[in-house]
Structure 1
Amino acid sequence: MSERNGLRYGLLGLALLGLLAILYATSQRSPDIQPAEPASSRPQIESLSELGDQPPARRHLEIQTWQTAEGAKVLFVEARELPMFDLRLTFAAGSSHDQGVPGLAMLTNAMLNEGVPGKDVGAIAATFEDLGASFGNGAYRDMAVASLRSLSAAEQREPALALFNQVLGQPTFPEDSLARIKNQLLAGFEQQKQNPGKLANLELFQRLYGEHPYGHPSEGTADSIPGISREQLQAFHARAYAAGNAVIALVGDLSRAEAEALTAAVSAALPAGPALPRIAQPEVPTPGPSHIEFPSSQTHLLIAQLGIDRRDPDYAALYLGNQMFGGGGFGTRLMEEIREKRGLTYGIYSGFTAMQARGPFLISLQTSAEQSAGTLQLIQDMLREYLAEGPSEAELQRAKRELAGSFPLSTASNAAIVGQLGSMGFYDLPLTYLEDFMAEVQALSLEQVKDAINRHLDPEALVIVTAGPTVEQKELPPPSDTPRPQPSGVPH
């Protein structure tokens, strides 16, 4: 821990102890002071034994929404439990908007907090830290995000927000920082050459999407990064970080009036401009296998095809169907057969990644190189069987119970809520989405799930990428009801 952090946390601990002592003393000498609300109206801790088969209560959200004068969409939830707020801006500024310059979106986002007028990267970080605030950012295929967490009291909120607005609205993109980050990326590209999983993933997206904006690496390439200039970053920022291209999600200890003032200031600090066009849908790729030769003891298997976009009406049915096949961890068909009964892998996972355009449906795992061909064939056979027969009633009910039990975690914290709001705003989902999703999942029948997975998945349309050594193949062990030992050694 740094000296700055050590001093800060030490003082914070003393302050909290002092506050607790004052509160205790006050309660002892003022017995007539009534609590702010009756005990019966305060949130109660729920006993798991008392819940039985009922899921824990989910936090009810009163989502308010409006648009700023500059065109930014705002979603706000007032949450008075803690004296703080979480702010998250989501822009259609991911790598799908690189426009032929791979890495441009990522590099722009990474450079936001490297400099503003009067402050370099160190001064920006120190100012946020001194205010007890934290800044975060990231860029992905669909979107780029920037976030701020701060105490809600005006003496902390206002200077933290002022600096946040500078970081988003007035980044200086200093040349020395640009050179440093480029060098870090180029070093990372060299390391990728020793990572068969990363190489397989790059190959998979190129095969799935080709020349589509999702096809190239979000972080750029060793050929594209060196030539990106400061002027290109400035132009991308002016276009993609415009107010009309932003969704502002806000959760915390603020009134509606305070929230409106805060989001208006954020919106006004951004460049002026409209939303960028939506990403076009990709063409269906050519199925079949491809192999990356790599000297290792294990083989990476990636099995994929195009899935759905985020607004597809079958989203809930496919989510539930995948949970039973391979998306729900232990207890799924893939984990039971591939890991538990045969000991072929440490873990196997399947999932739909729904984006603005059709994202991938992907099955991924690592397995022993000499059993990779048999494992691949087994997975393909299992997918065919699942599509032909569909899930069982027992699987369906278990998956529904598990989702009902875990779904409250999606709104368990302000940080979780602000992430949900950002996603809802970015993908134009209704304000009732969270309630609608769970209601739709619980109402689904076996026939509806089977119909959805058969309309969207085709075992003959799979794009398969393997990365590992070419070795003589062995037969797979027969399934056993006794859990088999996992492959020796750490997977790599």
Structure 2
Amino acid sequence: MKSLVSRSLCGLLALALLGGCASGTEPRLASLAALKDEAPARRDLDIQQWRTAEGAKVLFVEARELPMFDLRLTFAAGSSQDRGVHGLALLTNAMLNEGIRGQDADAIAAGFESLGAEFGNGAYRDMAVASLRSLSDPARREPALTLFADVVGRPTFPNDALSRIRNQLLSGIEFNKKNPGKLASQALFEELYGAHPYAHPSEGTARSLNGIRQAQLRDFHRRAYTASNAVIALVGDLSRSEAEAIAAQVSQALPKGPARPRTAEPVAPAPGHRHVEFPSNQTHLQIAQLGIARGNPDYAALYLGNQVLGGGGFGSRLMEEVREKRGLTYGIYSGFSPMQARGPFMISMQTRADYSEGSLALIKELVRQFLAEGPSETELQQAKRELAGSFPLSTASNAAIVGQLGAIGFYDLPLDHLERFVEEVQGLSAEQVKAAMNRHLDPDAFVVVTVGPTVAQSELPPPTGSTQPQPAGVPH
């Protein structure tokens, strides 16, 4: 149904744009060749912020280029708020558009489609989101908003839909038991976070899902989907007064109540290695330690340092040493995932099962070497150039901007966060990046998870100056 809604929106938008062209002014496209090697310009965002009477934080950017708008609600209603009933947050969010008074899921979907609007939702460890994309013409905007407010603020959680959605989640859990990458990720979060709310998967477990009842969904919605617990992000063809009216309408439809408490900080685990036996030719290897919370002042330096280490794809240290020089893997990646509490720093790859121990030792040594040396000036400047070229994509569309606004509001970042980030990255020295990486990473503190068969180990091939052939066969 989502694809039908999207096509409907695109069709109505195309008609609106064609109507604009009918005035006699022909649209002109700039030649790509004219861009040469220059990075595309980043949009300057005039972010306006206020709170509704019910306590919702609102961030708004006026964008008149297209006759449409994007609305995104972000709630502190992710799986970290499950309170031991694993899967409750995700199931509640998945059920939002399954029923309101007088309408079932099919009627709701048909309602959005008839208006050329698109509804979206999702739940993660920190947050749950609900979104609306609609044409800004009041004739379509107003009924779309009324339906959206009912879906997010007054869902009925019908039992027949609960059984269906729960069965879908249970099928996914069963399927993931055959996916070594999923098994590795789940085991890693368990080892890294222990008793912390981030430890359990957002989708819950078969046992926890089977115990969830309609009354629990209603109670979670009442507690976690309050206006005080919400960030409302708006981008599009709207005036300030129209944006205020939309925010007020949505805010008034939400339950009344306080914001949810912030997620507690996790306790760093002892380093260790957990192996999960799995019949395959490849071993999935993940290593991690606690990283940083969103808003940490070292974020820009860590982002840049990780781009050199393993986040920048081809050309990064890990890809060069593990794939290009030794042919041990198709890809190896590292990254910080800052969250409300300290998120993980992770390195992941898969390799031939008999190379798993040697690959793990090699990765640890490469991290140790990088922390000791820091990035070279050449590596640092290359990473800065790549960021300068790709960062404009983060504000290239209204959908991208509304996502950025949601994150800025949810994590209490300054309104000029995007501008500050770019400026800070460009001003960093190699020594500053090295110091930040060493403040937050310890080569002896990794938690390791491997998923694959137990086999005799082989010596790693020596590094060469040329690209090595990749492991034969399709990774499992």
Q: Fold-level match, TM-score > 0.5?
A: yes
Partner of residue 355, structure 1: 339
Alpha-carbon distance between aligned partners in 2 of 1:71 and 1:121, rounded to the nearest angstrom: 30
Deviation at residue 19 of structure 1 after TM alignment? 4.0
Partner of residue 168, structure 1: 152
Instruction: Give, as a single letter, the amino acid of the residue that structure 2 aligns with 1:146.
Output: A
Taking a change above 3 Å as real, the CA distance of residues 20 and 274 of structure 1, as seen in their structure-2 partners, is closer
Q: Which residue of 194, 198, 201 maps to 1:217?
A: 201
Partner of residue 448, structure 1: 432
> Once the two structures are superposed, what CA deviation does each residue of 1:133-170 show, in whole Å capped at 9, x if it has no partner?
00000000000000000000011101110000000111
Alpha-carbon distance between aligned partners in 1 of 2:219 and 2:30, rounded to the nearest angstrom: 52
Partner of residue 417, structure 2: 433
Partner of residue 172, structure 2: 188
Taking a change above 3 Å as real, the CA distance of residues 160 and 404 of structure 1, as seen in their structure-2 partners, is same
Taking a change above 3 Å as real, the CA distance of residues 332 and 176 of structure 1, as seen in their structure-2 partners, is same
| Residue pairs, 1:370-409, within 5 angstroms | 370-409=354-393
Instruction: Give, as a single letter, the amino acid of the residue that structure 2 aligns with 1:354.
Output: P
Alpha-carbon distance between aligned partners in 1 of 2:52 and 2:194, rounded to the nearest angstrom: 38
Instruction: Give, as a single letter, the amino acid of the residue that structure 2 aligns with 1:379.
Output: I
> Is residue 108 from structure 1 mapped to residue 92 from structure 2 by the alignment?
yes
Q: Which residue of 466, 472, 481 maps to 2:465?
A: 481
Deviation at residue 22 of structure 1 after TM alignment? 3.8
Alpha-carbon distance between aligned partners in 2 of 1:17 and 1:200, rounded to the nearest angstrom: 48
Alpha-carbon distance between aligned partners in 2 of 1:218 and 1:6, rounded to the nearest angstrom: 27
Taking a change above 3 Å as real, the CA distance of residues 6 and 121 of structure 1, as seen in their structure-2 partners, is closer
Alpha-carbon distance between aligned partners in 2 of 1:99 and 1:388, rounded to the nearest angstrom: 41
Alpha-carbon distance between aligned partners in 1 of 2:2 and 2:358, rounded to the nearest angstrom: 52
Alpha-carbon distance between aligned partners in 1 of 2:13 and 2:340, rounded to the nearest angstrom: 45
Q: Which residue of 173, 184, 194 maps to 1:200?
A: 184
Alpha-carbon distance between aligned partners in 1 of 2:286 and 2:395, rounded to the nearest angstrom: 32
Alpha-carbon distance between aligned partners in 2 of 1:207 and 1:156, rounded to the nearest angstrom: 49
- Backbone CA RMSD of aligned residues: 2.3
Alpha-carbon distance between aligned partners in 1 of 2:18 and 2:29, rounded to the nearest angstrom: 27
Q: Secondary structure at the match of 1:388?
A: helix
> Once the two structures are superposed, what CA deviation does each residue of 1:218-245 show, in whole Å capped at 9, x if it has no partner?
1100110001010000000000000000
Partner of residue 106, structure 2: 122
Q: Which residue of 14, 17, 40 maps to 1:56?
A: 40
Deviation at residue 201 of structure 1 after TM alignment? 1.0
Instruction: Give, as a single letter, the amino acid of the residue that structure 2 aligns with 1:475.
Output: E
Alpha-carbon distance between aligned partners in 2 of 1:353 and 1:433, rounded to the nearest angstrom: 17
The normalised TM-score by structure 1 is 0.93
Alpha-carbon distance between aligned partners in 2 of 1:17 and 1:437, rounded to the nearest angstrom: 35
Deviation at residue 56 of structure 1 after TM alignment? 2.5
- Structure 2: give runs of 5+ residues left out of the alignment: none
Instruction: Give, as a single letter, the amino acid of the residue that structure 2 aligns with 1:455.
Output: R
Partner of residue 307, structure 1: 291
Deviation at residue 416 of structure 1 after TM alignment? 0.2
Instruction: Give, as a single letter, the amino acid of the residue that structure 2 aligns with 1:289.
Output: H
Deviation at residue 339 of structure 1 after TM alignment? 1.0
Partner of residue 396, structure 2: 412
Q: Which residue of 103, 108, 119 maps to 1:135?
A: 119
Q: Secondary structure at the match of 1:88?
A: strand
Q: Is the 8 A contact 1:326 1:333 kept in 2?
A: yes
Alpha-carbon distance between aligned partners in 1 of 2:389 and 2:2, rounded to the nearest angstrom: 40
Q: Secondary structure at the match of 2:133?
A: strand
Deviation at residue 392 of structure 1 after TM alignment? 0.2
> Is residue 289 from structure 1 mapped to residue 277 from structure 2 by the alignment?
no
Taking a change above 3 Å as real, the CA distance of residues 413 and 43 of structure 1, as seen in their structure-2 partners, is farther
Q: Which residue of 256, 261, 274 maps to 2:240?
A: 256
Alpha-carbon distance between aligned partners in 2 of 1:44 and 1:411, rounded to the nearest angstrom: 20
Deviation at residue 48 of structure 1 after TM alignment? 5.9
| Residue pairs, 1:3-22, within 5 angstroms | 15=15, 19=19, 22=22
Q: Secondary structure at the match of 1:331?
A: coil
Alpha-carbon distance between aligned partners in 1 of 2:419 and 2:310, rounded to the nearest angstrom: 25
Alpha-carbon distance between aligned partners in 2 of 1:21 and 1:152, rounded to the nearest angstrom: 18
Q: Is the 8 A contact 2:286 2:347 kept in 1?
A: yes
Q: Is the 8 A contact 1:212 1:282 kept in 2?
A: yes
Deviation at residue 68 of structure 1 after TM alignment? 0.2
> Once the two structures are superposed, what CA deviation does each residue of 1:108-152 show, in whole Å capped at 9, x if it has no partner?
000000000011000111111111100000000000000000000
Alpha-carbon distance between aligned partners in 1 of 2:4 and 2:388, rounded to the nearest angstrom: 43
Q: Secondary structure at the match of 2:199?
A: coil
Deviation at residue 55 of structure 1 after TM alignment? 3.1
Q: Secondary structure at the match of 1:214?
A: helix
Q: Is the 8 A contact 2:4 2:113 kept in 1?
A: no
- Structure 1: give runs of 5+ residues left out of the alignment: 28-34, 36-41
Alpha-carbon distance between aligned partners in 2 of 1:420 and 1:376, rounded to the nearest angstrom: 35
Partner of residue 149, structure 1: 133
Q: Is the 8 A contact 1:55 1:401 kept in 2?
A: no
Q: Which residue of 41, 53, 56 maps to 1:72?
A: 56
Alpha-carbon distance between aligned partners in 1 of 2:290 and 2:57, rounded to the nearest angstrom: 30
Taking a change above 3 Å as real, the CA distance of residues 254 and 281 of structure 1, as seen in their structure-2 partners, is same
Instruction: Give, as a single letter, the amino acid of the residue that structure 1 aligns with 2:172.
Output: G
Alpha-carbon distance between aligned partners in 1 of 2:199 and 2:6, rounded to the nearest angstrom: 45
Deviation at residue 353 of structure 1 after TM alignment? 0.3
Alpha-carbon distance between aligned partners in 2 of 1:354 and 1:251, rounded to the nearest angstrom: 25
Partner of residue 39, structure 1: none
Alpha-carbon distance between aligned partners in 1 of 2:331 and 2:222, rounded to the nearest angstrom: 43
Q: Is the 8 A contact 2:2 2:118 kept in 1?
A: no
Q: Is the 8 A contact 1:102 1:220 kept in 2?
A: yes
Instruction: Give, as a single letter, the amino acid of the residue that structure 2 aligns with 1:381.
Output: E
Taking a change above 3 Å as real, the CA distance of residues 16 and 416 of structure 1, as seen in their structure-2 partners, is closer
Alpha-carbon distance between aligned partners in 2 of 1:97 and 1:245, rounded to the nearest angstrom: 12
Instruction: Give, as a single letter, the amino acid of the residue that structure 1 aligns with 2:162.
Output: L
Partner of residue 276, structure 1: 260
Taking a change above 3 Å as real, the CA distance of residues 3 and 167 of structure 1, as seen in their structure-2 partners, is closer
Alpha-carbon distance between aligned partners in 2 of 1:322 and 1:10, rounded to the nearest angstrom: 38
Deviation at residue 481 of structure 1 after TM alignment? 2.0
Report the count of equivalent residues: 476
Q: Is the 8 A contact 2:86 2:203 kept in 1?
A: yes
| Residue pairs, 1:336-355, within 5 angstroms | 336-355=320-339
Q: Secondary structure at the match of 1:183?
A: helix
> Once the two structures are superposed, what CA deviation does each residue of 1:274-312 show, in whole Å capped at 9, x if it has no partner?
211111100010111110010000000000000000011
Deviation at residue 10 of structure 1 after TM alignment? 11
The normalised TM-score by structure 2 is 0.96
Partner of residue 38, structure 1: none
Structure showing greater radius of gyration is 1
Q: Is the 8 A contact 1:83 1:252 kept in 2?
A: yes
Taking a change above 3 Å as real, the CA distance of residues 18 and 100 of structure 1, as seen in their structure-2 partners, is closer
Deviation at residue 484 of structure 1 after TM alignment? 1.3
